[in-house]
Amino acid sequence: MLETLKYLIGSTGVSGFGSKSTAEEATETCPDLLSITAIITGATSGIGAETARVLAKRGARLVLPARNLKAAEEAKARIVSEFPESEIIVMALDLSSLTSVRNFVSELESLNLPVNILINNAGKFAHEHAISEDGIEMTFATNYLGHFLLTKLLLNTMMKTAKQTGVPGRIVNVSSSIHGWFSGDMIRYIGQISRSKSQYDATRAYALSKLANVLHTKELAQRLKQVDANVTVNCVHPGIVRTRLTREREGLITDLVFFLASKLLKTIPQAAATTCYVAAHPRLLNISGKYFADCNEAWTSKLGSNSNEAAKLWAASEIMVSKHAKAVFDPLSAFDYHHM
């Protein structure tokens, strides 16, 4: 109750920011980002577009990977019209396709660009059951698995950039408080919904993908620490905001729900604040493996803080993204794979 009250009145936490803070306010005291290159997925609209706009305002060079290149070019044009000095590179990427992720990274490497910040922001809420070209349920494939592979393939470049420049790299995984809605056996459920739609529940699948983002952050932070990488990874809950995520469900019911929840809704500039804060603020130097909401450290669900679950998900993810094997989950006995 107290937390809800704090949220509603926008009281600030130890960071000096709160639920009503905007992305511009959260980065106002940051040093300029003129020497920084940031990759932001899902930056064509909503929270991602505002995150891109604010980081461009602070001087960062942006790489905007997108499935819809026309929308990405339009997003770029909007930013450049406001900040003419901006350097923005639009590239093709479909996160639901592991081949597309590999092609994107290969193309990026050919440009010899440094990578200082990676913001895994793109999100999908698939109301209808669908399977990716790699045989994985679509929400999980897009929100988590594509980002898992993207991060894995960019880590060497990020570590190299950090070593050469002395500027620590930062990875930001955009999750949601909805991650706490998932309970049960994650691997079993991924297997079930990747094989048939009989067990599919759109909200549960979305919650699972967001829990996976949280666990990815936890396990990756440990691994980065073990190799003494000058790269941190943190996770954020942006808050509830009406974005294009709900585009498949416009109508009276959606409108009514959002009207009733309007007191809890954030504006897009407010929703982008935590991402921008975690990506750029000096206060977050050397902070890794944490979960943030309203620009302050927050608690994950019990499952979201489980190290064993994080390790288990990582092992399953490695199999799913393996070039030489296609994941074939057996919901009755964790997972297995066969060579294609």
> What's the pLDDT score for residue 264?
66
**Residue 241 pLDDT level (bands cut at 50, 70, 90):** confident
**Cα distance between residue 262 and residue 329, in whole Å:** 41
Q: Report residue 337 as tokens.
A: 């794979």
Comparing CA positions, the residue from 49, 45, 71 lying closest to residue 62 is 49
**Cα distance between residue 187 and residue 145, in whole Å:** 13
Query: What pTM was estimated for this model as a whole?
Result: 0.89
> What's the pLDDT score for residue 150?
98
Poorest-pLDDT segment among 31-40, 78-87, 299-308, 330-339: 330-339
CATH architecture of 1-321: 3-Layer(aba) Sandwich (3.40)
Strand, coil or helix: what is 321?
helix
* Dihedrals phi, psi of 325, to nearest 5 degrees: -140, 145
> What's the pLDDT score for residue 12?
74
**Cα distance between residue 336 and residue 316, in whole Å:** 9
**Residue 329 pLDDT level (bands cut at 50, 70, 90):** very low
**Which one is predicted more confidently, 276 or 10?**
276
**Residue 5 pLDDT level (bands cut at 50, 70, 90):** very low
Q: Report residue 309 as tokens.
A: 């679950």
Asked whether residue 49 carries a pLDDT value surpassing 80, the answer given is yes
Asked whether residue 243 carries a pLDDT value surpassing 60, the answer given is no
> What's the pLDDT score for residue 256?
59
- For 124-261, strand residue ranges (E) read 169-174, 231-237
Is 200 labeled as catalytic in the residue annotation? yes
Asked whether residue 45 carries a pLDDT value surpassing 50, the answer given is yes
> What's the pLDDT score for residue 328?
47
From 189, 200, 206, 277, the catalytic residue: 200
- Each residue of 13-29: pLDDT tens digit? 889 999 999 999 999 99
Asked whether residue 339 carries a pLDDT value surpassing 70, the answer given is no
**Cα distance between residue 73 and residue 47, in whole Å:** 17
- Each residue of 57-91: pLDDT tens digit? 999 999 999 999 999 999 999 999 999 999 999 99
238 and 177 Cβ atoms separated by less than 8 Å: no
294 and 268 Cβ atoms separated by less than 8 Å: no
Strand, coil or helix: what is 133?
coil
**Which one is predicted more confidently, 180 or 334?**
180
Q: Tell me the β-bridge partners of 92.
A: 66
Domain ranges of the chain: 1-321
**Which one is predicted more confidently, 256 or 207?**
207
Q: In what order do the strands lie in the sheet with 37-40?
A: 88-92, 61-66, 37-40, 117-120, 169-174, 231-237, 291-293, 296-297
